[in-house]
Amino acid sequence: MSENFTNRESLLRYLDGELAEEQVMSLEKQLASDASLRQKLENLRLTRRSVQLYGLHQQVRAIHGEMMAEVGGREQFHPVGRYRKIVTWVSRAAAIVVVALGLSILYQYITVSADRLFRDNFHSFTLRGTRGRVGSTHAAEGTAIREAYVDGRMQDVTRLFGQLPHPAVGDYFLAGNAFLIQDRPADAIRCLLAAQQLNSAQQTHLFEEDIEYYLAMSYLRNGQIAGALPIFEKIHDDPAHAYHDKAGSGFLRKLHWLQKGK
């Protein structure tokens, strides 16, 4: 039996809720580290929901066909008959509107994915102000990391970060963003969590809201909706948060869909 077939069977059983708890934990661990496996899961989920969408579309066509046949038939001149005809037509027209609205919502539902939601909403962090230290305990390295980030040399950012014996909050933050831009979300998560922990230990608030937002985006890119959702909800509930406008109700609704679909 091929590995692809085995993966597909496991993913189908995962979607059906047929895997044992230890199998679910093992598969979710693989999904967190394997982007191609996550894409296979999204494709299977999309295929299933597309079938559901097609079934509803056929129902709408049938209702529309019956309505047009009745409207095009011989007119009933009796007042009661004409009244009944109008009521029937309005009822079926209303049914079409309701189903069409449902189809629109369903279309948004089946096309949403962690990957698409990330791609549609991600904007890299822009470092403002003059070049200089980013809070590093090593001024030369901190300056170099900042300049590399401003210049868009993300590989240099992560390389320089790896040479720091004691990174500061700013170093962790810029490295986390550089990893995310390089599509290495797991490394980004580690850096951003370390930045939060260091802020807490030092009782500082450097890049605090920036760290929150990009940590949530890193979780989203890594397919970890359970990690991303509570952070985005916190941002949404705080009108004063710097990233409040990036965690709107529509965005949260799609995250909840993803959470329920897992």
Phi, psi of 188 (to 5 degrees): -60, -45
Query: How big is the chain, counted in residues?
Result: 262
How confident is residue 89, by pLDDT bands cut at 50, 70 and 90?
A: low
User: What is the percentage of the chain residues whose pLDDT exceeds 90?
Assistant: 44
How confident is residue 116, by pLDDT bands cut at 50, 70 and 90?
A: confident
The confidence score (pLDDT) of residue 53 equals 59
Note the pTM of the prediction, 2 decimals: 0.59
How confident is residue 44, by pLDDT bands cut at 50, 70 and 90?
A: confident
More confident position, 127 or 255: 255
The confidence score (pLDDT) of residue 87 equals 54
Helices 208-221 and 225-236: crossing angle, nearest 10°? 140
160-215 tens-digit pLDDT: 999 999 999 999 999 999 999 999 999 999 999 999 999 999 999 999 999 999 99
Over residues 71-87, the mean pLDDT reads 52
